[in-house]
Amino acid sequence: MKSANNQQSSVVIAEDDPSVRKAVQRVLELEGYTITAVNDGQAALDTILAKTPDAAVLDVMMPFLDGLSVCKELRHRGNRTPILLLTARHEVGDRVAGLDAGADDYLVKPFAVDELLARVRALLRRHAPSSNTATVLKLQDLTLDVNRREVHRGARQIDLTKTEFDLLQILLEQSGIVLTREYLYEHIWGFNFETNSKSLDVYIGYLRRKLEEGGESRLLHTARGVGYVVKPS
């Protein structure tokens, strides 16, 4: 993946509403991004697989394939292109469904131009390669392989959703340090996600159950009123 500098970054836009598609394309091009715009989900899937862009902005409701199906198929094929979903639905459940499908962030229409740009910048920044990032993270018997996207607790392999994996990776990268709820929301769900929602607590619960499913000791701890930390019991 290229630098998070927008002058070097390519973005695929998939939106079946011509006015929205052209507006988003114009805004991003004015910021220096290289844009490929398509008007349906199948074209989005084909274009992303062929071009491997730095990021993609996908509408949820599109002909042929909807945005959620595009996300699922890309992740199924091992494609890790950062994805921002656009939707008219604002319920938390809809956003969680999008994140579970493999999207990295979620933006509700109508949206402010500044917020769109901030979320695209955040996507690129979070996914920019870092030479200082370890490819295998360990804490006691817990191992997370960043490249293979595999997690083991001893010999037991743990199957995680994309969001669960990303959350565990961030916590392990800073093991022993309490990460605030605001920090985790920004780095997992993106700019200005509703931090008073219960999404983080839900995913922490999922993750904790999976990590301790084999009767292992607790590694994921709650710092009441602050956030979460991974450390030995």
1 pLDDT more than 50: no
In the chain, where the domains are located: 6-127, 136-230
Q: What is the spatial distance between Cα 87 and Cα 98, in angstroms, rounded to a whole number?
A: 10
Contact between 54 and 10 (Cβ < 8 Å) = yes
Dist CA 32 CA 10 (whole Å): 9
- Would you tell me which CATH number, out of the four given (1.10.10.10, 3.30.70.260, 2.30.30.90, 3.20.20.80), belongs to the domain 136-230? 1.10.10.10
Specify the 3-state DSSP secondary structure of 190.
coil
31-66 per-position pLDDT tens digit = 999 999 999 999 999 999 999 899 999 999 999 999
CATH of range 6-127; options 3.40.50.2300, 2.60.40.10, 3.40.50.300, 3.30.360.10:
3.40.50.2300
pLDDT band of residue 190 (cuts 50, 70, 90) is: low
At 57, list the tokens: 């902005």
Residue 109 has a pLDDT of 86
Q: What is the pLDDT of residues 96-135, one digit of tens each?
A: 777 778 888 888 888 888 888 888 887 887 776 554 556 8
The 3-state DSSP class for residue 29 equals: helix
